[in-house]
Amino acid sequence: MVLSTAVLDTNFGDAFRRLIETEKNPALRTLRERAFARFAEIGFPTVREENWKYTSVAPIGKESWSISADAFLDEVSEDVAEELARFNFDRSGFTALNLAFARVSLVRVPKDTSVAEPIELNFVADDGAAIFPHVLVVVERGSKATIVETYASASKSFTDSAVQVVVEDDAHVTHYRVQKESLEAFHVGTTEVSLGRGSYYNSTNINLGGALSRHDIDLKFTAEGAEAFVDGLYMLNGTQHADTHSVIDHLVPNCTSHQNYKGVLNDKSRAVFNGIVFVRENATGTDAEQSNKNLLLSNDARVDTKPQLEIFNDDVKCSHGATVGQLEEEELFYLLTRGLTETLARNLLTYGFAEEIINKIDVASIKDELDRAVLNRLNAEI
């Protein structure tokens, strides 16, 4: 394996060279080596690349991160290694680096099983550390489960995560993803979802933390009759920067997708939303909706939004749209005439805007925590 001098000079190259010798699974070792070779070839993305032109990740590469050897001490079975090989690590330098250092976890729900309690995946990055969680979720045919994925940190750190979700025929998955890391942290996450025949996938993605964060979503319909919800909320203050890129790919006929993303931005924060829905030539009967709405609480906040549809047949029902604006003056005036102070009225309208997404969450403890987080961002009680 040939590594570039630039990569070898970083702690990523030094750490990988030191740790790869401890990988016990031959198949996974080969996969890790291939992934790191890809990272060595392309490095981190730059703003010259179309998918990253609004998001500079240069600050991540300037830090010297501590990388744990724990990932290489875990036993990974042959069948899990085979599933990991399906992960598209060529997507970017981050996905390649994730697989190279991945600490792999498997969540498997057996056939025709309904899991009553949420399956919780909690990841915490220590000060100065880089972590690379990689979770493979397989929900087998006819099963039902709720996945809660949470990221936290107390100070400056770097999380490079990946989650592969396989929803088999007639399975039902509810997936909550909450990113609430330190305002000094860097966070890059990738979610890959594959949907089987008659399956149902309902995701809610909440982004509150991080100085710089990015989430890539790649969802594919692989058999007819599946339905997916891909919704999210980002709330940003200060100079936070959050980037969401999603690809929803209708490869087969008669599937339905819904996407509703909302953003609340204050101060000098910035958000990027780029969502694309593909409807392939043979994907007749597709029903796809996509929406991105943004609320700016400051004249210095900024959003770059680009919802897209690429449709290659006529027998479909598709819509998409985006809005960027401030609070509606008529709504604000109405509340003021009812005796509310201007501050309380503005907070109430902002809270209501965000709550449409948070109200999707059926896990009471998580919803209550997010309610408090929203109110904290508003410096308010309602």
What number of residues does the chain have?
382
Q: How much is the pLDDT for 140?
A: 98
Of the candidates 252, 248, 259, 245, the one whose C-alpha atom is nearest the C-alpha of residue 290 is: 259
The per-residue pLDDT string of the chain (382 residues; one tens digit each, 9 = 90 and over) reads 444 445 544 679 999 999 999 998 899 999 999 999 999 999 999 999 999 999 999 999 999 999 988 778 777 887 888 889 999 999 999 999 999 999 999 999 999 999 999 999 999 999 999 999 999 999 999 999 999 999 999 899 999 999 999 999 999 999 999 999 999 999 999 999 999 999 999 999 999 999 999 999 999 999 999 999 999 999 999 999 999 999 999 999 999 999 999 999 999 999 999 999 999 999 999 999 999 999 998 899 999 999 999 989 888 888 988 888 776 666 665 466 766 666 776 777 788 888 899 999 999 988 998 888 888 777 655 5
Determine the 3-state secondary structure of 273 from DSSP: strand
CA–CA separation, 189 vs 177, rounded Å? Answer: 10
**pTM of structure:** 0.93
Of the candidates 72, 66, 59, the one whose C-alpha atom is nearest the C-alpha of residue 31 is: 72
Q: How much is the pLDDT for 328?
A: 64
3-state secondary structure 212-268: EEEEEEEEEECCCCCEEEEEEEEEECCCCEEEEEEEEEECCCCCEEEEEEEEEECCC
Q: What is the CA radius of gyration of the chain?
A: 21
**What residue ranges do the domains of the chain occupy?**
5-327, 328-382
Residue 343 contacts by C-beta under 8 Å, 6 or more apart in sequence?
380
Cα of 56 vs its chain's centroid, Å: 18
CA–CA separation, 242 vs 216, rounded Å? Answer: 11
Are the C-beta atoms of residues 142 and 115 closer than 8 Å to each other?
A: no
Angle at 112 between CA 202 and CA 196, to 5 degrees: 50
